[in-house]
Each structure stands twice: as C-alpha cells, then as structure tokens.
Amino acid sequence: MITVKALGGCGEDARNCFYVDDGRYHILLDCGVKREIASVETVYPALSRDMAASLDAVLLSHAHEDHSAGLPYLYELGYRGPIYASRPTIALARGFMRKWVSYVKDNGGALPFDEANIDCLDFQDIEKAMNLGIRSGRSAHMLGSLWFFLEPSRILYTGDLCLDSLLLAHDELPKCDVLVVDSAYASRKIDQAKQYKALEASAIKTLERGGKILLPVPVNGRGIDMMLYLRSCGLGLDVQASIMDNAQALYRETAWIKPSPLWSELENHKKDSRIIIRGDGMMTSKSAMESYDALKGSSANTVVLTGHMANGTLGEKVLDHKLEDPIEVDEITIKVHPDCYDVIKTVQSCEPKAVMLFHSLESQALCSEIEALGIKATCTALGQLIL
Ligand SMILES: [Zn+2]
C-alpha cells in the first residue's frame, strides 16, 4: 500500500511537506515554512517526533524557504538522517534558512528550533539516493530545482515546476501512478509571453509620464529572467549588484540552463536609474524597502509586483492598497509555477491513477476537473492519498 500525506502545502500556498510510506521506505518530500509570524502549528509542517523517527530519508526539491526552512525544526524533532538534494540546492539552502531566521527575529517571532541546527543538517548529493530507487530531473523553477520519481512505487513529486522558463532547462516528467503536482496558479490561465509584454509596457508607460519604476524581484530565478528580458527590449536598468552577480553565476551553470539569445544581454551595461531592480520579490529586504520609500510619494511612479506576496510583507500591503500611497501599483504575474492549463497538460502526459495538488488555496475546481477524467484527486488541507 502507498500512502502520501500532506503535512502542509495542500489547500495553502506554503510550508510544503509530504510524508510518503511506500511499503518499503518512509520518505519526506520537502519541509517548508509559511512565511508569516504565527504559531508553530500554522507556520511549520504537521510533523511529530514519531514521524521524524520513522524517516529513512528526506528529499529537498529546491532551496526556497517554503520548501526548506522547516528542516532545522525536523532536526529539533530528532531527525538525523540524510537530506538529498542537488549540488546547487545544497549550496543555497542554508542561506535561505538563515534568511528565514532573520525574518522571524526582525518581526518579533519565536523559533521552535535551535539556530545551530542549520549547520548540523546532513545534506547529501541526490546521486546517492539512487540506492533507494529515486530518480530526479530538472524542474526549471530555480537553479538546482528538481522533480523526484520514486521508481519502485511510481510516485512522482514535481517540486515547484516551471514549464515556461526563459533561461532554465527542464527534463521531461516520467509516467507515474501517483502525481504530487505543483498547482500554484491552479485557478488561473497565464500566457507567459503576454505577461512579459505587459511588463515592458508598464515600464515604458511610466517612463513616458516622467516617472520611475521599482521592480522588486527574487535575486535568483525569475528576477534574472526579467532583468535580461527588459534589457533585450532596449531599456537601461539600475540593477542591484547581487542580481547581476547571480545572473553571471547562473550563466556558468551550463548543466542547468538552456541556450537563449537573452544571455547576450549580460554584456549590455546600458544604465538608467529610472528602472530600479531590487531583491526580493515581496519587498522584505532593506534595499527594496528604501527604494519603495523613495518612490511612494508620486503617482507618476510605478511599483510592479510579479509573484506571490506573503501576509504581513510590504509587498502584500502595497498590493492590497493597505498603505494608500500615491504610487501606481501593477500586478504582472511572471509564471514560475504551473497554471491550470499546465497542470492538466502534466496530468495527461504522466497518466497517473491519483493526483495530489499542492501550493494553492484555490485548487478545488481544478481538482474536480481531474476527477472528471476518472482520476482520484485531492487538494484539501492535510489531505492524503492511499493507493
Ligand atoms: Zn519555490
């Protein structure tokens, strides 16, 4: 019997964590947090000491906090076994965990683990998980992101998946029996090419009226795609040095990227202080906050928000117009997750018997659509699949 239990991530857009019992092994897929200051039960996966003791292995799909930052908590609960991930994810994950720790401390929250746990985690190269019958492939969500296929039980976990990345390469998903699929944009249809055009149009419109644009972006992933795309439109930019450094570093990661004419824009140093690109996407960093403060007083200026905004972040307050600043706010989602069309396409190509949709608050309609195809499906909070 195969059981996949969501300890977080289903019916919500964070703290992704799935407990798999495939009759041979007990495996945890990711262990993330919800980026909010709230109780342990709300922020961290629904783990117990018994579960931690039962685990044979943990698989980490990528470094983002909503997949990784619960790992020091798992350690606190007693887990001392291997955490398998790609080489870039291993290099990045501790930085994301420390970012989470800083966020909690800066906002008066409490940590349910000792910070020193971060250095004790036993990361192992994903190649070594082949002994457990685990295969992986690139998921094009960020540098180092992987999908996992548990070969004997035919469970496929997509991790966070992007089928439209401009710069990152992805590997075809295998056919499976159980599909645990990223459905972050389950309730939307998003045409990526149109979104990029809208981004360019927003910038040009603001410049034409004499304003400035603030584009807060993740310093990895879509932040680099957007920066190079705007340069390819002939626009000069004021780019935070770390984003530029990450773009240069990504270009050297030849095993993870695909050929694109956009890479030639790395050589283009046209500067314009009116288009300001800062990390991070939710404006929780000092540099993004300072840039926002400098621009917020004029309606000629625009802030463009392109991803998910967690509750309580400056990005969320701006997007929901809680601050009543004169600055114009544009929301232009750049896809780094599947929309409803991508999920259906994935289900049709993987031919699963059962599907678990995660990473979305609004996946019920899509879940019903999949059930109408004669496939067992779940998307409810803390839901489980038994096959
Ligand atoms: Zn992610």
Say whether both 232 and 360 belong to one domain.
Answer: no
Residues 303 and 371 in one domain: no
- Residue found by looking up tokens 């972040």 in the block: 313
| Residue 278 · residue 218 · CB < 8 Å | no
Distance 247 CA to ligand 1 centre (A): 18
CATH of the domain at 129: 3.60.15.10
Domain that holds residue 299: 192-331
* End residue of a domain, out of 331, 350, 375: 331
Any residues with CB less than 8 A from the CB of 348 and at least 6 apart, and which?
none
How far apart are the CA of 170 and the centre of ligand 1, in A? 15
Using one digit for the tens of pLDDT, what is the confidence trace for 80-97?
A: 999 999 999 999 999 999
Rounded to two decimals, what is the model's pTM? 0.90
The phi-psi region of residue 154 (left if phi > 0; otherwise alpha if psi is between -120 and 50; otherwise beta) is: left
> Ligand 1 mean position to 93 CA, how many Å?
12
How many angstroms does the Cα of residue 212 sit away from the middle of ligand 1? Answer: 29
The confidence score (pLDDT) of residue 167 equals 95
Spacing, Cα 359 to ligand 1 middle (Å): 10
Could you tell me what percentage of the chain is helix, strand and coil, using 3-state DSSP and rounding each to the nearest 5? 35, 20, 45
pLDDT in tens, 137-187: 999 999 999 999 999 999 999 999 999 999 999 999 999 999 999 999 999
User: Domain check: are 11 and 145 in the same one?
Assistant: yes
State in Å: Cα 67 to ligand 1 middle: 7
Same domain, 230 and 305: yes
What pLDDT is stored for residue 325 in this prediction? 94
Please report how many Cα atoms fall inside a 13 Å half-sphere around the Cα of residue 195, on the Cβ side.
21
* Dist. CA 339 → ligand 1 center (Å): 15
For ligand 1, the distance from its centroid to the CA atom of residue 13, given in whole angstroms, is 10
348 and 301 share one domain: no
Q: What is the pLDDT of residue 30?
A: 98
Q: What is the pLDDT of residue 209?
A: 97
State the pLDDT at residue 255.
97
Residue 345 is predicted with a pLDDT of: 96
Q: Does 172 share its domain with 230?
A: no
Does 347 share its domain with 327? no
Q: Judge if 166 and 245 occupy the same domain.
A: no
Residue 269 pLDDT? 80
Q: 215 alpha carbon to ligand 1 midpoint, in Å? A: 19
Whole-number pLDDT of residue 349:
97
272 and 163 within one domain:
no
Contact between 344 and 369 under an 8 Å Cβ cutoff? The reply is yes
Distance 287 CA to ligand 1 centre (A): 22
pLDDT at residue 384 in the model: 87
Give me ligand 1 centre to Cα 245, in Å: 20
Cis ω before 280 (30° cut-off from 0): yes
* Shared domain check, 198 and 154: no
- The mean per-residue pLDDT over the stretch 27-55 comes to 96
User: What CATH number should be reported for the domain holding residue 317?
Assistant: 3.40.50.10890
Q: Would you say how long the chain is, in residues?
A: 387
52: CA distance to ligand 1 center in Å? Answer: 23
- Distance of CA 304 from the midpoint of ligand 1 (Å): 20
The confidence score (pLDDT) of residue 165 equals 93
Question: Residue 250's pLDDT band (boundaries 50, 70, 90)?
Answer: very high
Is 311 a residue whose pLDDT tops 90? no
Residue 58 CB neighbours (<10 A)? 25
**11 and 143 belong to one structural domain:** yes
Q: Select from 331, 353, 374 the last residue of a domain.
A: 331
Task: State how many domains the chain has.
Answer: 2
More confident residue, 308 or 182: 182
Question: Which residues place a Cβ less than 5 A from the ion ligand 1?
Answer: 64, 160
Neighbours of 30 (CB within 10 A): 30
Report CA(64)–ligand 1 centroid distance (Å). Answer: 5
Average pLDDT over every residue of 282-294: 95
